[in-house]
Each structure stands twice: as C-alpha cells, then as structure tokens.
C-alpha cells in the first residue's frame, strides 16, 4: 500500500509538471481525485489492510489528496498568469510606429481663386461687402440705370421669383445698396458672390460667381481704375501682364470699358486661347454714371467713382488653363484633386 501511494505520488508530480493547459489539469483532477480516480481506488483498498497499518496509510492518502489539490490550484494559477502575460505581449502597442495617413480634403478651385482675389484687393485697402442673392428687381436693374421699360433688360434673361424679386443676375446691385448705406462717405469695396442667369453651355452656367468693385470719392478718375486693375492683373497673372481698355457700354457706367489682359499663354504674340489677337477679355468696368451716384444721394459734381465686375470662373479658367466651365460644378474628385 505504501509503495503504491509513493508510486502514484511520483507519477502525479511528473504529470503535473508536464501539464500545459487547463484541459490537461482537469483531466488530471479526474484521473486522481475523481470517483473512479486512483486515490479513490486506493481508499477502497484500505479495508484489506492490517488494522495497525490503516492510520498510517490513511494519513498518507489524505496528505496525497491535499497535496494534489494544492498543486492543481497552484498550477492553475501559474497557467493563468502565463496566459495573461502572453496576451499582454501580443497586444502590446508600439507607439513609435508611424501612423496611417488621413486623407485630407482640398479647397475648391473657385474658393482658392476667390480667396486670392480678395487678398489682392484687401491689400489695396478694400473691404468686403455682401448682398442678397434673392434681390429686388429695383436694385438689380432700376438702381443701375435700367428703368422698367429699358430694352437692355432683355439682355439678361433672369430667374424671376415674382414681379418684384429675382435671383440677382449680377453683383452690381451691391453697389447701389452700399452707396445707400454709406452716402456721403467715401467707398472702397469689393463684393464677391453667386449670380444667376438663364444660360447653360461650355462657357456659361446658370449659376456662377462674380466679383464687383466700387470706389467712390472726390477726384476719382479713369486713371485710378486703370492703375487698380493693372495692379490686380499683375498680382493674379504675373508681373509681365499688360492691360488695355476698350470702349464699351453698361447702363450704370459712363464711360464704360471692357478690359483685356495680354495673353498669358503666348505673351501677346497670338495663339488659340487669345484667338490670335494677343489679348483676352477679363472684365467690364467704367466710371460710375452720375445718375447712379445721384440716386443714392451723392453729389456727382463733387463725387466720382469707378466700378468693375468680373467673372470668378473666368479668372479661374484663365489662371488654371481650364477650357470647360462645367467641370467647376461637376465636382469630379479627379479634377478637384489638382488643387
Ligand atoms: N455687371 C456687369 C455684368 O454682369 C459687369 C460690370 C460691368 C460690372 C461694368 C461693373 C461695371 O461694375 O462697371 O456683365
């Protein structure tokens, strides 16, 4: 009996040392401590022992059972700790690894160009003025010297909302609104924003953007207009650019001019973009019509002013060599990523 206990004890210790998983431990528990396990079997054999041998054998068996229970729980603890350590090692974060790049959006080319235009004029001391996109017919036409029955109103096919209101067809109404507000103070403003016309082709869109400019003060002349626009054009398109003024007509300016810049592609020699003329038209401008000044309360004997209006899309197309206006509004990511 004693030999048997010793044998089991040794086998058990060996197996415990080798056990490497919770499952194996559970198997060992059944094998030794279970109802049909080795220790139970031994206990059953106690009856066959001599009475004087029994206490000793009983004690040894008890010790064996206790020893096994302790070892099992110690081993279990050890395995659990090892498993935790392994898990921690596997889940360790290396904070020095480079991050994965986040894709950044970019600004729309129209925003880029508008901001650049604003910067140039802000640098010349202009402030920014905004006007409503749903505009009164009164400001969009009448206050710009186009009375209700003026044939020039047919020039612009507009989106009317009702008899009195429309989506503004130009940023020029901001001129009249600003003059009303500031008269008799001097004015030096630009006004960028969306405008709407019934047009839709490769060079016209029903919604596009303009930037208006207005300067009103004593002693303002056409030379001031020309100097201002030359400065703008050179900052926008390069120091080598020249401008020329051609006589034109707008009801709210007198005289009126159309402004061309020397072609940035051929430098003025003539190419496809400038249709072999060496010049590209970029904006309309003129001296504010005395009647327009008067309607806001400015004395045209004392005050003079110049105004200009240009298409932002047109400036962007010239600057980036884009030949179809519609790409500006389709928002194809491949196009937008160029900016
Ligand atoms: N509003 C004109 C247009 O839409 C552009 C324009 C021309 C604005 C001459 C002006 C100007 O301020 O003086 O075609």
* 302 and 233 within one domain: yes
Please tell me the number of Cα atoms within 13 Å of 187 on its side-chain side. 30
Q: Is 159 exposed, middle or buried (0-12, 13-18, 19+ CB in 10 A)?
A: middle
Residue with CA closest to ligand 1 atom 8: 309
State which of 90, 122, 152 marks the end of a domain: 90
Dist. CA 90–CA 87, nearest whole Å:
5
> Which of 121, 131, 170, 205 should be mutated for ligand 1, with most atoms under 8 A from CB?
170
* 114 and 61 within one domain: no
- Backbone phi and psi for residue 275, each to the nearest 5 degrees, phi listed first: 50, 45
For residue 306, is it within any domain?
yes
How many structural domains compose the chain? 2
Q: How far is the CA of 330 from the centre of ligand 1 (A)?
A: 27
* 186 and 280 within one domain: yes
State which of 59, 90, 121 marks the end of a domain: 90
For residue 235, is it within any domain?
yes
Residue with CA closest to ligand 1 atom 3: 170
Dist. CA 213–CA 111, nearest whole Å:
18
For residue 180, is it within any domain?
yes
CATH number of the domain within which 280 lies: 3.30.930.10
CB-defined site of ligand 1, < 6 Å: 170, 172, 212, 250, 253, 284-286, 307-309
For residue 135, is it within any domain?
yes
Closest to 183 in 3D by CA, of 297, 304, 292, 300: 297
Task: Provide the residue-wise pLDDT of the chain in tens; the chain has 339 residues.
Answer: 778 888 888 888 888 888 888 888 888 888 888 888 888 887 888 888 888 888 888 888 888 888 888 888 988 998 899 989 999 888 888 889 998 888 888 889 999 999 999 999 999 999 999 999 999 999 999 999 987 777 656 555 789 898 899 999 999 999 999 999 999 999 999 999 999 998 878 778 899 999 999 999 999 999 999 999 999 999 999 999 999 999 999 999 999 999 999 998 888 888 888 899 999 999 999 999 999 999 999 999 999 999 999 999 999 999 988 888 888 899 888 888 887
* 286 and 241 within one domain: yes
Dist. CA 176–CA 188, nearest whole Å:
13
For residue 98, is it within any domain?
no
Q: Which residue reads 């592609």 in tokens?
A: 265
For residue 321, is it within any domain?
yes
* 32 and 132 within one domain: no
For residue 102, is it within any domain?
no
* 120 and 83 within one domain: no
* 86 and 116 within one domain: no
Residue with CA closest to ligand 1 atom 9: 285
Q: How far is the CA of 20 from the centre of ligand 1 (A)?
A: 87
Residue with CA closest to ligand 1 atom 12: 308
Please give the number of the atom of ligand 1 that sits closest to the Cα of 195.
4
* 272 and 167 within one domain: yes
* 183 and 64 within one domain: no
For residue 96, is it within any domain?
no
* 116 and 20 within one domain: no
Q: How far is the CA of 308 from the centre of ligand 1 (A)?
A: 6
* 198 and 133 within one domain: yes
Range of the domain at 58: 2-90
Q: How far is the CA of 324 from the centre of ligand 1 (A)?
A: 22
* 274 and 229 within one domain: yes
């Amino acid at each position: 009996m004693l030999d048997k206990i010793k044998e089991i004890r040794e086998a058990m210790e060996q197996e415990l040392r080798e056990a490497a998983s919770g499952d194996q431990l559970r198997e060992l528990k059944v094998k030794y401590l279970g109802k049909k396990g080795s220790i139970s079997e031994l206990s059953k054999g106690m009856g066959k022992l001599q009475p004087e041998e029994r206490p000793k054998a009983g004690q040894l068996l008890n010790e064996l059972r206790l020893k096994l229970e302790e070892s099992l729980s110690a081993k279990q603890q050890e395995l659990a700790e090892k498993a935790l350590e392994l898990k921690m090692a596997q889940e360790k974060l290396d904070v020095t690894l480079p991050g994965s790049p986040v894709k950044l959006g970019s600004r729309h080319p129209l925003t880029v160009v508008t901001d650049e235009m604003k910067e140039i004029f802000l640098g010349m001391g202009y402030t920014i003025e905004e006007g409503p996109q749903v505009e009164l017919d009164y400001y969009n036409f009448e206050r710009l010297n186009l009375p209700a029955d003026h044939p020039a109103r047919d020039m612009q096919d507009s989106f009317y909302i009702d008899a009195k209101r429309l989506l503004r067809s130009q940023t020029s109404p901001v001129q009249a609104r600003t003059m009303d507000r500031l008269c008799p103070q001097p004015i030096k403003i630009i006004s960028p924003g969306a405008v709407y016309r019934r047009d839709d082709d490769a060079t016209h869109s029903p919604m596009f953007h303009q930037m208006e400019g207005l300067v009103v003060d004593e002693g303002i002349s056409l030379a001031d207009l020309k100097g201002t626009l030359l400065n703008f054009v050179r900052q926008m398109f390069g120091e080598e650019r020249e401008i020329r003024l051609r006589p034109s007509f707008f009801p709210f300016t007198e005289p009126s001019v159309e402004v061309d810049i020397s072609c940035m592609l051929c430098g003025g020699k003539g190419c496809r973009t400038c249709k072999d003329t060496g010049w590209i038209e970029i904006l309309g401008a003129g001296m504010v019509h005395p009647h327009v000044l008067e309607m806001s309360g400015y004395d045209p004997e004392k005050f003079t002013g110049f105004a200009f209006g240009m298409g932002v899309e047109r400036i962007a197309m010239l600057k980036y060599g884009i030949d179809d206006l519609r790409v500006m509004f389709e928002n194809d990511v491949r196009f937008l990523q160029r900016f």
